[in-house]
């Protein structure tokens, strides 16, 4: 996955600002030669109401709005990002279970581990249906 340093910093800043709650967003861009090129990371409101410190939810209407705007700009939704406040920057079992229950094969997932002191560690993952799990995805910062 390729992303600009500015967009990556926007994601990390969003994670820091949202601490101690999970934040989330949508990764938009194009896939070229099998590589996801993120043009923009669009923050969305975490609609999780019961456990927002350990879960996130993107409302369908937010996703549809982003999908329409992306298509008009000639881009696609490549994946999603979310934070793990005070937890490791890797997909949780809940993340795996949710991805396995949907149409997630080949979808990029960024997880940002963020601490109260502002330390933010971004990682990228690709969900694979055949594995029913995530594989690490190289994070190439331009």
Q: What is the CATH number of domain 2-141?
A: 3.40.140.10
Task: Identify the pLDDT of residue 70.
Answer: 96
pLDDT digits (tens, 9 = 90+) for 66-100: 999 999 999 999 999 999 999 999 999 999 999 99
pLDDT digits (tens, 9 = 90+) for 93-140: 999 999 998 878 889 999 999 999 999 999 999 999 988 999 999 999
> Using CA atoms, how far apart are residues 108 and 117, in angstroms rounded to an integer?
27
Task: Identify the pLDDT of residue 74.
Answer: 96
Q: Which residues are catalytic?
A: 22
> Using CA atoms, how far apart are residues 23 and 19, in angstroms rounded to an integer?
8
DSSP tag of 63 = H
Query: Which of 61, 72, 74, 76 has its CA nearest to residue 27?
Result: 76
pLDDT digits (tens, 9 = 90+) for 1-33: 999 999 999 999 999 999 999 999 999 999 999
3-state secondary structure 7-39: HHHHHHHHHHHHCCCCCEEEEEEEEECCEEEEE
pTM of the model: 0.95
């Amino acid at each position: 996955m390729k992303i600009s340093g500015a967009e990556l910093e926007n994601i990390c800043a969003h994670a820091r600002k949202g601490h101690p709650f999970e934040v989330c967003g949508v990764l938009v861009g194009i896939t070229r030669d099998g590589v996801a090129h993120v043009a923009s990371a669009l923050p969305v409101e975490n609609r999780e109401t019961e456990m927002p410190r350990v879960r996130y939810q993107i409302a369908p209407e937010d996703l549809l709005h982003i999908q329409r705007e992306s298509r008009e700009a000639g881009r696609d939704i490549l994946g999603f990002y979310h934070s793990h406040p005070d937890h490791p920057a890797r997909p949780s079992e809940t993340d795996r279970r949710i991805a396995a229950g949907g149409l997630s094969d080949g979808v990029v997932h960024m997880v940002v581990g963020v601490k109260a002191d502002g330390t933010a560690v971004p990682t990228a993952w690709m969900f694979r249906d055949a594995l029913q799990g995530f594989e690490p995805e190289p994070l190439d910062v331009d």
